[in-house]
Structure 1
Amino acid sequence: MKFRLALLLILIVSVAPVAQSWAADGRFALVIGNAKYPDAEAPLKEPINDAKDIAEELKRNGFDVETGENLNGDAMRRALERLYARIKPGSVALIFFSGFGVQSARQSYLIPIDAQIWTEPDVRRDGVSLETILGEISGRGAGVKIALIDASRRNPFERRFRSFSAGLAPVIAPNGTLVMYSAALSSVVSDTGGAHSLFVSELLKEIRVPDLMAEETLNRTRVGVTRASRSEQVPWISSSLAEDFSFIPGARPQPPTQVAIATPPPRPDPPPAPPAVANIAPPPPPPPPPKIELPPAAATVPAVKDEATTAVASLADDPTIKSLTGKLIDNPDDASALYRRGQVYASKGAYQLAVNDFTESIRLNPKDVEAYNNRCWVRTVIGDLQAALKDCNEALRLRPNFVDALDSRGLVNLKNGQTKNAIADFDAALKINPRLTSSLYGRGLAKQRNGSISEGELDIANAKAMDPNIVKEFADYGVR
């Protein structure tokens, strides 16, 4: 039923002991590659190879490297504690993470493979905060702090939240810190399916260039990724370095190469116009940008009409929607952009616009089970219950025992007065995830309506103890 955060930070760390110390000048690195997440449909193909190659390159450059693969939460925290313990005043400390990352409360979290994430508080409980890592490294006296995070992936957790927040958040880092994400803030990219990610391929290429300072190395990496992806992927960099630092020891600062990119490179200019010839009409002006108008259906939903009207009125200026709409103007068949924009619309109360985007996403990929589930949920909120039930049934046909679709269909049946069916769906969802607050609260309401007052009260009380906002959430869906 929920829109789950997406999207994604990655550190690549090895638990195995380091056979040789390379830290003559106090360079320490933790490299983590997490690929085998049980919640994902298949292991990620890139993080392990990326972690190994990054680790080898850092070792050649004098770093004392610990590398970890497929680390659970305890293993990640122990590896970080070992890194903290090695740091001395003035050391260089580097973190590389490849895997899934999630942002919550404007912070980015690196996700261990055993994280049990069903609600937003679970992110903060099971994830590892990047800001906390950098703060701890700084507190141990490191002079240069570097974080290279390849975690901006569409992840299996993003649709478990009703509030939408894809990708990673800006990091508030201490002085002397250089941070790079593989993609722009609040955006996600898909794995290439190859042995290495585009981000790591470009990063390794630039790290090997002699006589480059670290900031220039990362700027050149950003240029390479942006160009290779045709501006579909633009890495994000934040720097507060107060001293020169190079990945290759002994490098001397050189005049900066005239390569810089803060935004995707502009499209090439058109060829020069031919000499003026009489009676040649000037080219027509470019079409105005598309307008986002309030869909009639959103304005007629009593439970959400005020919120939806206000939200939709501000959509034209929303930077995420602007970016996604721009992608769809260039490529109307970009299913990923349609799906993501649908999530944004739904999170902002523009429900009919969300339905439209999910419908187009399903047209492009008739087996997109997530789009079916999310369209089911949105249609339930706006009261289109018959169509919602068809969507949930199709999601469950494509993926039997899909907990999100069971939760969504339970809400459909609850709103439709089918209390026994609602109880059955919520029961099935809770067998899979006993901590799914929405199913617990929904089952409590359904039990009360079915005459089991005391049992319903117990479910409702337990759900409210887990999430005090659950009552308002259901009220927003038109269920009280």
Structure 2
Amino acid sequence: MRIFLVLLVTLILSVAPIVPSSAADRGDRFALVIGNSKYPDAETPLKEPINDARDVADELKRDGFNVEIGENLTIDGTRKAFDRLYGKIKPGSVALIFFSGFGIQSNRQSYMIPVDAQIWIEPDVKRDGFSLETVLGEINNRGAGVKIALIDASRRNPFERRFRSFSAGLAPVIAPNGTLVMYSAALSSVVSDVGSDHSPFVQELLKEIRVPDLMAEETLNRTRVGVTRASRGAQVPWISSSLAEDFSFIPGARPSGSVVATLPPPNPEPPPLPPPPRYDPPPPRYDPPPQQPKVEVLPPPVDRPVEKDDSNSQLALADDPTIKSLTAKLNDNPDDQNALYRRGQVYASKGAYSLAIRDFDDSIRLNSKDVEAYNNRCWARAVIGDLQAALKDCNEALRLRPNFVDALDSRGLVNLKSGMTKNAIADFDAALKINPKLTSSLYGRGLAKRRNGAFAEGDIDITNAKAMDPDIVKEFSDYGVR
């Protein structure tokens, strides 16, 4: 009998699946959770990031992660937090990043933005932001076996419009093997805050993390389904995976190859999801916009917005920390062209367009080839209805930099407000050929087509633009275009 029992045990061990002990099973799990809500340049603090970060941190602690949580982190605070995470990582361990706040894509990379970032031109993004690709690369270099990034930063933010050369939302990440990345919305798309204390993305994520016996990829796929269904297709999260080993958020969950009891699904098969908002890029054919004469008689502006009084605006903005800092620089050196240009951008973002134009005037006086200043002055003049001068500025910007997408977009706005709908369509077509995701050109082209009598085509552009950026209607209304 004893021999029979030995043989039986040997036989069982020989056929039972062997689950190797991994760093994830041993508890080598490290997480950095960041929630940024108080951005001085935003009109109001974001409601969701702090609450979401705390809830995610609590859940990850229950799941065996060594968690550090950071709230409203500055550039220096973010750098130190990442350095501490890097220092904890051991070969084969699990490293997770959760970030909720503002993000920007620049040069085909996604950047997490600290609360004190000073972003006025595109190079500032790389200087003050933290590249997700760089962070994941460093974590990989430290030997982490499983790398996970959960990024809830697909929000329209106050930085993007400043340098007028951006793509909305986040960019695809080129990550090392063994990486699982999830964005709260599709690539190059943004979602508006719902005004609640928690984001739909995090609510669905936490619900799925708590389901036992799920591998991480399945957890995130179920999260994507939940968010898509809850938003009726308006928000579709993006996932990228190159995991080379099984991993579950709940320790001890069996990988898919293990022998486990097959349980019936907890709920019946869900109904098919509605398709995500369709975006059809502009047709490949491109006819350059016609050359416009240097002097053109334009009809009076339509729906010209009432600008804030200069003196009142200057007094109201005097205590703005960024304006105060730039004004101090200009008091020391009135010919600081960079400070003039940046202060002009801040004034324009606050609606003080005449003050912005004055700074752009001085910036151009100091550098007659400042193409960005010409473009921004064109845009500011277009908003207040000074259309003759705006057209001249945009033409000069395009002379200095042919096919400058931002100047094409700005000139399209000038032509739209001037009633030159065919010219507006040509400019917006040219801008969309360069950047098919430029929502302002897509929406502007839709309005121009409608005014030109092509109502069906215009409605398609407008619908696609609103799906990509729900705030685009208000933005054009602020420009005086309805």
Superposition TM-score, scaled by structure 1 size: 0.58
Shift in Å at residue 158 of structure 1? 1.5
CA RMSD of aligned residues (A): 4.5
Number of the residue aligned with 2:89: 87
Shift in Å at residue 394 of structure 1? 3.6
Shift in Å at residue 25 of structure 1? 1.6
Shift in Å at residue 159 of structure 1? 1.1
Number of the residue aligned with 1:207: 209
Alignment partners' CA distance in 2, 1:74 and 1:180: 25
Question: Match for 1:476: what amino acid?
Answer: A
SS at match of 2:190: coil
Can you give the 5+ residue segments of structure 2 that lack an aligned partner in the other structure? 1-23, 257-261, 318-336, 349-354, 378-392, 402-482
Question: Structure 1 residue 390 and structure 2 residue 304: aligned?
Answer: yes
Alignment partners' CA distance in 1, 2:281 and 2:139: 47
Alignment partners' CA distance in 2, 1:195 and 1:79: 25
Number of the residue aligned with 2:243: 241
SS at match of 1:196: coil
Alignment partners' CA distance in 1, 2:51 and 2:178: 29
Can you give the 5+ residue segments of structure 1 that lack an aligned partner in the other structure? 1-21, 268-288, 305-380, 404-422, 446-455
Who wins on radius of gyration, i.e. which is larger? 2
Question: Match for 2:367: what amino acid?
Answer: I
Number of the residue aligned with 2:105: 103
The answer to whether the 8 A contact 2:25-2:252 is kept is no
Question: Structure 1 residue 221 and structure 2 residue 128: aligned?
Answer: no
Q: Residues 56-75 of structure 1 correspond to what in structure 2 (within 5 A)?
A: 56-75=58-77
Alignment partners' CA distance in 2, 1:63 and 1:124: 30
Q: Residues 398-409 of structure 1 correspond to what in structure 2 (within 5 A)?
A: 400=313
Any idea what the Cα deviations from partners look like across 1:316-365, whole Å, max 9, x if unmatched? xxxxxxxxxxxxxxxxxxxxxxxxxxxxxxxxxxxxxxxxxxxxxxxxxx
Q: Which of residues 148, 152, 155 is equivalent to 2:154?
A: 152
Question: Structure 1 residue 460 and structure 2 residue 367: aligned?
Answer: yes
The answer to whether the 8 A contact 2:374-2:396 is kept is no
Number of the residue aligned with 2:175: 173
Shift in Å at residue 390 of structure 1? 3.3
Number of the residue aligned with 2:54: 52
Number of the residue aligned with 1:302: 292
Alignment partners' CA distance in 1, 2:123 and 2:342: 23
Question: Structure 1 residue 133 and structure 2 residue 135: aligned?
Answer: yes
SS at match of 2:301: helix
SS at match of 2:221: helix
Q: Which of residues 443, 449, 456 is equivalent to 2:362?
A: 443
Shift in Å at residue 395 of structure 1? 6.9
Question: Match for 2:199: what amino acid?
Answer: S
Q: 1:299/1:462 Cα in 2 relative to 1: closer, same or farther (>3 Å)? A: closer
Alignment partners' CA distance in 2, 1:23 and 1:111: 33
Q: Residues 348-363 of structure 1 correspond to what in structure 2 (within 5 A)?
A: none
Alignment partners' CA distance in 2, 1:233 and 1:187: 9
Number of the residue aligned with 2:234: 232
Q: 1:442/1:226 Cα in 2 relative to 1: closer, same or farther (>3 Å)? A: same
Superposition TM-score, scaled by structure 2 size: 0.58
Any idea what the Cα deviations from partners look like across 1:254-283, whole Å, max 9, x if unmatched? 489899xxxx9246xxxxxxxxxxxxxxxx
Aligned length: 321
Q: 1:149/1:382 Cα in 2 relative to 1: closer, same or farther (>3 Å)? A: farther
Q: Which of residues 258, 263, 273 is equivalent to 1:265?
A: 273
Question: Structure 1 residue 251 and structure 2 residue 253: aligned?
Answer: yes
Q: 1:385/1:70 Cα in 2 relative to 1: closer, same or farther (>3 Å)? A: farther
Alignment partners' CA distance in 1, 2:25 and 2:71: 22
Shift in Å at residue 387 of structure 1? 2.4
Any idea what the Cα deviations from partners look like across 1:288-322, whole Å, max 9, x if unmatched? x999899x9x9455289xxxxxxxxxxxxxxxxxx
Identity of aligned residues (%): 63
Number of the residue aligned with 1:409: none
The answer to whether the 8 A contact 1:115-1:126 is kept is yes
Number of the residue aligned with 1:5: none
Number of the residue aligned with 2:36: 34
Q: Residues 281-320 of structure 1 correspond to what in structure 2 (within 5 A)?
A: 299-300=289-290, 302=292
Number of the residue aligned with 1:356: none
Question: Match for 1:387: what amino acid?
Answer: P
Question: Structure 1 residue 142 and structure 2 residue 150: aligned?
Answer: no
